Amino acid sequence: EVKRGGKNGYRLYSAELDDELLFKIEVEADLRKSIERGELEIHYQPQYRMPDRELIGMEALLRWRHPVRGMIPPGRFIPIAEETGLIIEIGSWVLREACLQAKAWHDEGRAKVPVSVNLSTQQFHQPDLEFEIERILAETGLDPQYLELEITESMMMDASASIDILNRLNGLGIRLSLDDFGTGYSSLSYLSVLPINRLKIDRSFVMRLEESGSEQAIVKTIIAMAYSLGMDVIAEGIETEGQLEILTGQRCLEFQGYYFSRPVPPHHLFDGETQRGA
């Protein structure tokens, strides 16, 4: 037990810190075994285009079914996976699994739409990422146009290196989207030279749309900018009819959020239970 309550008055080991540290240590050990134990799974959240509510894509969202702790959300363990480097192996697993699932849906005659996979910062900067993806596409048989990678502004702090990576990925014929757009600090001048197909308006803007005129102005500007750069734009985290109306009024036509469907296990996707209006 270490306590330094003396002159500086700081205590290194508060109970809270203990808990967090313990969580990290345990989770790291368990995470190493999670893949082989089959504890990781992917849920899929559909994306729609209005006004016809046409299904246009699925986002793959990682879940960890921990034997003792229950379902652990990605926000809780992906940062630990990043710190420990485990994200490389986990990220490869997600990519392969999502491509396999999309291919299976296509072969079964389900909606032939792209699957979107989130990349982590470490994965993005992995020197052989391009070849890894090429290999996964070849092995799973998924046509490159049906894979979309979601990256974030914060991954692209080194602008010139990032443009190079994005160009090489783009060369594979896959799609690229900029996730959580508006929350990072991307240089607007770079945006015009990036081979990005789609901007995803972050949920934090959508959340405040109905109360805040300034939020509406920001979103309106993002939408206009996307179109003038020749990109598509999708709003994430749509929960209400009101948000949908404001956004369609601003010519945003692609949506993803609880209003339409939560992320669900793949076998639930086409059983009609989770789809509204369809």
Joined together, the tokens standing for residue 226 give: 């996307």
CA 43 to CA 40: how far, in whole Å? 10
232 touches ligand C2E by CB under 6 A:
no
- Strands 40-49, 254-256: pairing is antiparallel
41 touches ligand C2E by CB under 6 A:
no
Q: 147-166: which residues touch ligand C2E (CB under 6 A)?
A: 150
For the beta carbon of residue 73, count every other beta carbon within 10 angstroms. Answer: 11
Which of 91, 266 has the CB closer to ligand C2E? 91
74 contact choice in Mg ion, ligand C2E, none (CB below 5 to 8 Å, kind-dependent): ligand C2E
SS3 state of residue 240: coil
The owner of tokens 């392969």 is 96
Which member of 148, 179, 232, 254 binds Mg ion (CB under 5 A)? 179
46 touches ligand C2E by CB under 6 A:
no
CA 155 to CA 184: how far, in whole Å? 9
Stretch that binds ligand C2E, among 48-56, 167-175, 230-238, 264-272 (CB under 6 A): 230-238
150 touches Mg ion by CB under 5 A:
yes
CA 144 to CA 134: how far, in whole Å? 8
Which member of 27, 31, 58, 78 binds ligand C2E (CB under 6 A)? 78
For the beta carbon of residue 218, count every other beta carbon within 10 angstroms. Answer: 16
The per-residue b/e assignment along 23-40, b for 16 or more CB within 10 angstroms, e otherwise, is: eeeebeebbeebeeeebb
Stretch that binds ligand C2E, among 73-81, 134-142, 216-224, 242-250 (CB under 6 A): 73-81
123 touches Mg ion by CB under 5 A:
no
Q: Which residues contact 87 (CB under 8 A, 6 or more apart)?
A: 78, 81, 120, 122, 123
75 touches ligand C2E by CB under 6 A:
yes
**Size, binding site for ligand C2E by CB under 6 A:** 23
257 contact choice in Mg ion, ligand C2E, none (CB below 5 to 8 Å, kind-dependent): ligand C2E
Binding site for ligand C2E (CB under 6 A): 45, 61-62, 73-75, 78, 91, 94, 118-120, 150, 179-180, 203, 236-239, 257-258, 263
